[in-house]
Structure 1
Amino acid sequence: MSTAAGPTGRQALALLRSLRADPLTGFVSLTNHYGDFVRVPLPRGGKLLLISRPELAAHVLVSNQANYRKARTYKPMTEVLGNGLLTNEGEDWARQRRIVQPMFARRHIDSFAPAMVAAAHTTLESWAARPDGALLDVAEEMSALALDVAGRALFSADLTGEAGAMGPALATVLDAFTKVVRSPLFLVAPNYHRWPTPNRLRARAAEAQLHGVVDGLISRRRAEQRLPGDAGARDLLDMLLAARDETTGEPMSEQQVRDELMTFLLAGHETTANALAWTFMLLSRNPEARDRLEAEVDEVLAGREATAADADKLTWTSAVISESMRLYPPAWIIEREAIAADELDGEPVPADSVVAPAPYLLHRNPDQWPNPEGFDPTRFLPGEGSARHRFAYLPFGGGRRQCIGGGFAMLESVLLLATITQRYRLDLVPGFREEPVPTITLRPRRGIPMRLHRRAAALD
């Protein structure tokens, strides 16, 4: 017998309209009303199955993952990302994953730590010119910082000059994506995301701008006539140009190199920026957790610059980041389509049904997380959480399509948070009320306004 429940008839049709307007609120409401396995009928006989139960997420993402492909809601992103790892499917995706996977080994990731810390210091130097108590939008600041890190790691390039243009271009692309997938026409027109609507025309101009920056960097690197081996690689661009398929020995095509760079640039920059912005908001609201963070950073770093070796010692810092991503997961929902009929806990899953394990909901399942709305980094300290299902926490997805850059993102987030905490404390302006916007990632709608204060420890 199925444990799925959900609305029917006119109620379901009305709900679909509300989900297009505000999917996050709608999904939370559905879960609160119907439980952790929700069935919503879709037009033309299909169904949406919303999952916030970890064992069901594991079935879709691991046990029977061969039967589930990326949902068509990812298709609009091919306009900017091409066939990068985020959007590709099938054998092409598997080949790309084999080529790229070695680049994200721990030894390679650790080599980027100096660039991460250097980018953080560039941001701190810009803050030093501001008076104590200055108002800033931490979401905007973290976006620029994460873009700087991406530029250094991907291209050994300073993108701070481009940040003023690339940030709005990225925001335009994400906004266009959201409008497309929420349009009723997207349900019935497979190529609606390519229609020349005003929304798409704005997005195309932004996409061209982003492609121009990346293409220019690739062209300049090609002109150097330098294809180093792995040991001599300066950055991920060098690694991509030098990479070869272990089976055929073939390099990546020019288009594939660009698609992967665009994917790393957008996905890597966007997720880390949002994770850090939400983290500073949560720390401001939880002063005891912030005090403990400052004490750990002061003890471990003792005033010097952070290194990759410090990441494993900064256990509370890492726990703070992990708990922030529990409450505000970078990828708030994962959508898959059934290739063939399946069954989930007694519920029939017809072919082409949409099955959605939602990290935002999984991370708030009270059976897995006591006080699920509370901010409690102790959940992620060493030795904690052994009783939790491993699919109760999916900040980077799960299964074979788990985000390849998860280790990079965690190292980056820990080092940036520690470096900023050495010198500054950020306080929310009174009365601020967050409003998460569910695009590809979970972004703050109107930024996060905070006051910048120099720490006494930094002045000693």
Structure 2
Amino acid sequence: MSVAAEIQTTVPPLLPGGTMIMGHYGAFREDPLRMFREAALSGPVCRLRIGGITIYGLNAPEAVQHVLQTNYRNYRREQRVGEAVRLIAGENLFTSDGEAWLRRRRLLQPAFHRQRIANFATMIVREAEALMADWPDRMARGEYVDLEQAMTRLTSQVIGRAMLSVNLERDAGDLRESFDVVSRYSIDRIMNLFTPPLLVPTAKNRSFRQAVLTIRGALGKILAERQALGEDEEPAGDLLDMLLAARDEETGAGLTGDQLIAELNSIVFAGHETTATTLTFAFHLLMAHPEILAAVQSELDEALGDRPPTLADLPALDLTRRVMLETLRMYPAAWASSRDGVEADVIAGYAIPAGARLTVNIYGIHYRPDFWPEPDRFDPDRFLPENSAERPKLAFLPFLTGPRKCIGDEFAQLEAQLVLATILQRYTPTLKPGHQVETAIDFVLKTKYGLPVQLQPR
């Protein structure tokens, strides 16, 4: 047999520890993050069995590059995940493939141009300052502030202002609570093989359907109010205005009302959940490492003095930036990303059959000790140029890579750095005594019990 033929028939190794009938389903349900870390040590590609389904784990930069960059046209959004998201938002940039995805990407991309994003910096700082307005009174009453709740509230406000020019807390009623419902429901469908169809009138299904109606109703109301504005009204200049005006370069067609709601749905959902969880874990890590927290605050004092941060200050806040990057390594909001193969392929020397299900093992790659020595140690200096020059670029995947890289990655990083700087310039957080910070698996990584803190004015 030739070497080429042998490579074509090489089957990826099966991850140890599965059972005869359910495979690795028990380990996946019990602790998926631990399982993903173990998988990342088994080679560039491995096989997992979840019930009767074989999943191919992509555990190395070269495997990820092949699927997300080199041969990306052969891989579509994994249908089970896409179906769960489609239930929430309809057909949108996140759930679509092929020409439908390309058309939406062309329409949305200008809204996330670097210069447009930079214009939001002042608003982000202003919203962070508004969030802190009642903190002195709460501290005087001996209350604790749950920073996870606070960051979720703040990032929803920021995304509402930037994308829709509205106050989501005031104008969209129960929108944030409804997103929580659909997030829990969707991850349950992804992780549980035995969920009843949506048409079955279970309590969870009814709650989910009501939440979807609430979300679509709230966004539909915002859209209708914008469409009703007269031509003499001053445009808001936000994402919604851009989407209303956007036309496909080839066809000249714009987005329908349902398509607009679907895109807004996915952007609002992803735009506040991911950044909120990143900020929450950044505060957690800094409180657990007071020497790094003190160094960040020293950097802020030197660069800013008493004035609030601006876009122009960010190059001087390099430690603050590296703290955010290390947080994204240790707690990537998107901890995995799935694809369905179309045709048979060879990835890192392993044969992958047509129609295969694949998972980009983001979390596992972020903890590979050959890329990240002592991976459980919080060390922002990993991202200094001298410490990262030899590390593969795709060993760090918080926003994925390739044509389907997260469209809002620059906005998310700008927001996170400015919010962290604004809050730590004013306050030193201390975790509530006895509180244990544990990770919860949701559509994004979260804490199980929140992050209650005391805030000492500086």
Q: Which TM-score applies when normalising by structure 1?
A: 0.91
Query: 2:322·2:381 contact (CA, 8 Å) conserved in 1?
Result: yes
Q: What are the equivalent positions in structure 2 for 1:178-257 lying under 5 Å apart? A: 178-185=187-194, 192-193=197-198, 195-226=200-231, 233-257=236-260
SS at match of 1:325: helix
Give deviations 1:304-332, integer Å, cap 9, x for gaps. Answer: 12222222222111111111010000100
| Number of the residue aligned with 1:458 | none
Which ranges in structure 1 are unaligned for 5 or more consecutive residues?
456-460
Distance 1:117 1:182 in 2: 37
Distance 2:236 2:56 in 1: 45
Give, as a single letter, the amino acid of the residue that structure 1 aligns with 2:182. Answer: V
Identity across the alignment (%) = 35
Distance 2:129 2:18 in 1: 57
Report whether the alignment pairs 1:348 with 2:351: yes
| Number of the residue aligned with 2:132 | 124
Report whether the alignment pairs 1:58 with 2:61: no
Give, as a single letter, the amino acid of the residue that structure 1 aligns with 2:161. Answer: R
Query: 1:135·1:449 contact (CA, 8 Å) conserved in 2?
Result: yes
| Number of the residue aligned with 2:56 | 49
Give the counterpart of 1:435 among 434, 438, 453: 438
| Number of the residue aligned with 2:296 | 293
| Number of the residue aligned with 2:6 | none
Give deviations 1:5-30, integer Å, cap 9, x for gaps. Answer: 42487347242233235422333344
Give, as a single letter, the amino acid of the residue that structure 2 aligns with 1:312. Answer: P
| Number of the residue aligned with 2:85 | 77
Judged with a 3 Å threshold, the aligned counterparts in structure 2 of structure 1 residues 226 and 212 are, in CA distance, closer, same or farther, namely farther
How far residue 382 of structure 1 moved from its aligned partner, in angstroms, is 4.6
Judged with a 3 Å threshold, the aligned counterparts in structure 2 of structure 1 residues 339 and 255 are, in CA distance, closer, same or farther, namely same
Give the counterpart of 2:168 among 148, 159, 173: 159
Distance 2:109 2:440 in 1: 31
Give the counterpart of 2:366 among 363, 368, 374: 363
How far residue 417 of structure 1 moved from its aligned partner, in angstroms, is 0.7
SS at match of 1:69: strand
SS at match of 1:131: helix
How far residue 2 of structure 1 moved from its aligned partner, in angstroms, is 5.3
Distance 1:433 1:153 in 2: 34
Report whether the alignment pairs 1:412 with 2:394: no
| Number of the residue aligned with 2:4 | none
Query: 2:172·2:218 contact (CA, 8 Å) conserved in 1?
Result: no
Give the counterpart of 2:427 among 397, 416, 424: 424
145-154 or 217-226, larger mean C-alpha shift: 217-226
| Number of the residue aligned with 1:335 | 338
Distance 2:87 2:38 in 1: 32
Query: 1:53·1:365 contact (CA, 8 Å) conserved in 2?
Result: no
Report whether the alignment pairs 1:95 with 2:91: no
How far residue 424 of structure 1 moved from its aligned partner, in angstroms, is 0.9
Distance 2:434 2:93 in 1: 41
88-97 or 77-86, larger mean C-alpha shift: 77-86
How far residue 107 of structure 1 moved from its aligned partner, in angstroms, is 0.8
Give, as a single letter, the amino acid of the residue that structure 2 aligns with 1:216. Answer: K
Which ranges in structure 2 are unaligned for 5 or more consecutive residues?
1-9
Q: Which TM-score applies when normalising by structure 2?
A: 0.91
Task: Supply the RMSD in Å over aligned alpha carbons.
Answer: 2.3
| Number of the residue aligned with 1:146 | 155
Query: 1:332·1:438 contact (CA, 8 Å) conserved in 2?
Result: no
Distance 1:391 1:262 in 2: 29
Distance 1:310 1:333 in 2: 33
Distance 1:59 1:35 in 2: 15
